[in-house]
């Protein structure tokens, strides 16, 4: 049994470095200790799996080998019934129920709505001399979730939901998420108490929407969840539906928006990439069909490359539940193990010039699930992965078909922590001008 390299010592200092500057911290550790190393974090040791072989060990292990990691932090955001909180048979049962709406024909049915929402939001942003890509993309992604997942269409109700969702997200601080001892209300004062009040506001709106879906089911995902039945014929509880909706909101709208903001920035810093991408999009005509947009190979490669360079989550941790062999290392129950998305995505033997934005690499070869994992993998891979990439391609394609983008900051943004996710510093400020060929679409 070989010795497992131990990363920097000092739990509080290591935790701070990981929270504040994880990109630099993880790259520094890998350069010093290799592809697999142990990091002493605030409440337990976490083994980073930063090589494809170690990722494969984790992703192909029997599901019962692991349970959800850091459930107190996750529970704060998503609730105790969230899929991300569950393990074992409960996780398998819930995942089987939730997965179908995010794939196949059900997913493609939302293509036109995604394109319409993107066109409207970019047209609104173009009226101002300065827009922020991440804010525009977040508004689009939230509109898509509210319409496709929640079935909300009335403008006033969409605005109320949007205010509640943004308020809840803004109330989450990195310290509160990563340091459980701060999750106390202190007599109704402080960040955690404010967060709980905002959760209650959103919960009230969600419960009203659940009742609406029961009374008049639609073609949205909420209506499917209300009518869905487990193998034994039982229905999801209202609290389970509520927690899963929170999960879809939190894991779906901000993460997709961040990826879109990065993609817009990268594309407009490389004239060759922009020209090739717009040429592919323009070949579909001035009003491209959304599903045909989503099938474009270079657009697909652009989106995948944006997710490679700056993955929204730097790692996807699990908690070892039974003795587990990671390569030559034996991990004991209670140890964290985290396939490190960031390190794998920046391996030069897999991705030559890993810091360079080069979408062509995804046309030149196919990467295994252990070499490219922006949505995690194995039994705990994000159920909305296909939906998120589908939306990303339609929104980016719709925008570039109709608008000419000018970046307002000459400096490339750096990744900064928002809560438990990372986005581009400054959010990518830009100005929009209608392209002549897409002007009619913009005006609409």
- Kindly report which listed range (71-75, 237-241, 303-307) carries the lowest average pLDDT score: 71-75
Give residue 100's pLDDT band: very low, low, confident or very high (50, 70, 90): confident
| pLDDT tens digits for range 4-39 | 777 677 777 887 888 788 889 999 999 999 999 998
The CA–CA distances, whole Å, from 173 to 74, 162, 164, 249, 418 equal 13, 19, 17, 17, 8
Question: Would you say 318 and 338 are in contact if contact means Cβ atoms under 8 Å apart?
Answer: yes
| pLDDT tens digits for range 77-98 | 677 788 888 888 888 888 888 8
pLDDT of 196: 80
Q: What residues have CB less than 8 Å from 276, skipping those under 6 apart?
A: 298
Q: Distance (Å, rounded) from C-alpha 12 to C-alpha 254?
A: 28
pLDDT of 323: 94
- Ranked by mean pLDDT, which of 99-113, 172-186, 306-320 comes out on top? 306-320
Taking residue 262's Cβ as centre, other Cβ atoms within 10 Å add up to: 28
Taking residue 405's Cβ as centre, other Cβ atoms within 10 Å add up to: 22
Chain-centre distance of CA 102, in angstroms?
14
Residue found by looking up tokens 């939230």 in the block:
142
The CA–CA distances, whole Å, from 238 to 226, 241, 249 equal 8, 5, 16
Question: Would you say 119 and 97 are in contact if contact means Cβ atoms under 8 Å apart?
Answer: no
8-state DSSP, 430: E
Give residue 396's pLDDT band: very low, low, confident or very high (50, 70, 90): very high
Q: Kind of pairing, strands 66-68 and 429-434? A: unpaired
- Give 110's Cβ-side CA count (13 Å radius): 30
Q: Distance (Å, rounded) from C-alpha 204 to C-alpha 306?
A: 36
What are the E-state strand segments in 183-339? 318-320, 324-326, 329-331, 336-339
- State yes or no: pLDDT of 439 exceeds 50: no
- Kindly report which listed range (60-69, 164-173, 344-353, 424-433) carries the lowest average pLDDT score: 164-173
| pLDDT tens digits for range 149-165 | 888 888 899 899 888 88
Q: Distance (Å, rounded) from C-alpha 190 to C-alpha 298?
A: 48
Q: Distance (Å, rounded) from C-alpha 38 to C-alpha 27?
A: 14
Across the strands, what pairs with 434? 403
Chain-centre distance of CA 105, in angstroms?
22
Compute the C-alpha angle 138/374/17, nearest 5°.
Answer: 85
Closest CA to 315 of 6, 33, 2, 39: 39
| pLDDT tens digits for range 369-382 | 999 999 999 988 98
Ordered by where they begin, the domains of the chain are 11-443 (1.10.630.10)
What mean pLDDT comes out for the span 336-354? 97
- Kindly report which listed range (86-95, 100-109, 216-225, 245-254) carries the lowest average pLDDT score: 245-254
Two structure tokens written together for 360: 């062509």
Estimate the crossing angle of helix 155-170 against helix 191-215, to 10 degrees.
150
What mean pLDDT comes out for the span 330-357? 96
Q: Distance (Å, rounded) from C-alpha 283 to C-alpha 372?
A: 29
The CA–CA distances, whole Å, from 308 to 16, 225, 260, 375 equal 25, 32, 13, 10
């Amino acid at each position: 049994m070989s010795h497992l390299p131990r990363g920097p010592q000092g739990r509080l200092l290591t935790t701070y470095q990981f929270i504040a500057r994880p990109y630099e911290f993880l790259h520094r550790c890998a350069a010093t200790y290799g592809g697999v190393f142990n990091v002493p974090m605030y409440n337990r040791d976490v083994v980073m799996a930063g090589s494809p072989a170690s990722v494969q060990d984790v992703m192909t292990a029997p599901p019962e080998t692991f349970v959800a990691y850091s459930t107190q932090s996750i529970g704060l955001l998503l609730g105790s019934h969230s899929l991300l909180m569950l393990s074992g048979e409960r996780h398998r049962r819930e995942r089987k129920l939730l997965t179908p709406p995010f794939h196949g024909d059900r997913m493609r049915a939302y293509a036109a709505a995604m394109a319409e929402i993107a066109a409207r939001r970019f047209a609104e942003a173009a009226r101002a001399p300065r827009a922020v890509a991440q804010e525009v993309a977040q508004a689009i992604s939230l509109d898509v979730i509210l319409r496709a997942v929640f079935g909300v269409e009335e403008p006033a109700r969409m605005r109320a939901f949007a205010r509640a969702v943004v308020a809840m997200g803004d109330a989450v601080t990195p310290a509160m998420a990563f340091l459980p001892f701060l999750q106390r209300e202190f007599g109704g004062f402080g960040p955690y108490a404010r967060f709980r009040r905002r959760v209650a506001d959103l919960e009230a709106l969600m419960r009203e929407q659940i009742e609406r879906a029961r009374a008049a089911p639609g073609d949205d995902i909420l209506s499917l969840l209300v009518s869905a039945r487990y193998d034994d014929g039982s229905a999801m509880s209202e609290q389970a539906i509520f927690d899963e909706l929170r999960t879809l909101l939190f894991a779906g709208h901000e993460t997709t928006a961040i990826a879109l903001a990065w993609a817009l920035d990268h594309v407009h810093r490389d004239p060759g990439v922009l020209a090739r991408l717009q040429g592919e999009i323009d070949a579909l005509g001035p009003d491209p069909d959304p599903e045909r947009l989503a099938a474009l190979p270079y657009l697909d490669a652009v989106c995948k490359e944006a997710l490679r360079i700056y993955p929204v989550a730097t790692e996807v941790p699990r908690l070892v539940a039974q003795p587990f062999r990671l390569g030559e290392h034996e991990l004991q129950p209670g140890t964290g193990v985290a396939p490190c998305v960031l390190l794998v995505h920046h391996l030069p033997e897999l991705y030559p010039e890993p810091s360079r934005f080069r979408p062509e690499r995804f046309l030149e070869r196919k990467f295994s699930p252990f070499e490219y994992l922006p949505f995690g993998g194995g039994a705990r891979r994000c159920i909305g992965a296909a939906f998120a990439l589908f939306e990303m391609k339609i929104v980016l394609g719709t925008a570039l078909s109709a608008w000419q983008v000018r970046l307002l900051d000459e400096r490339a943004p750096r990744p900064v922590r928002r809560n438990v996710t990372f986005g581009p510093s400054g959010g990518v400020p830009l100005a929009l001008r209608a392209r002549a060929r897409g002007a009619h679409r913009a005006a609409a």
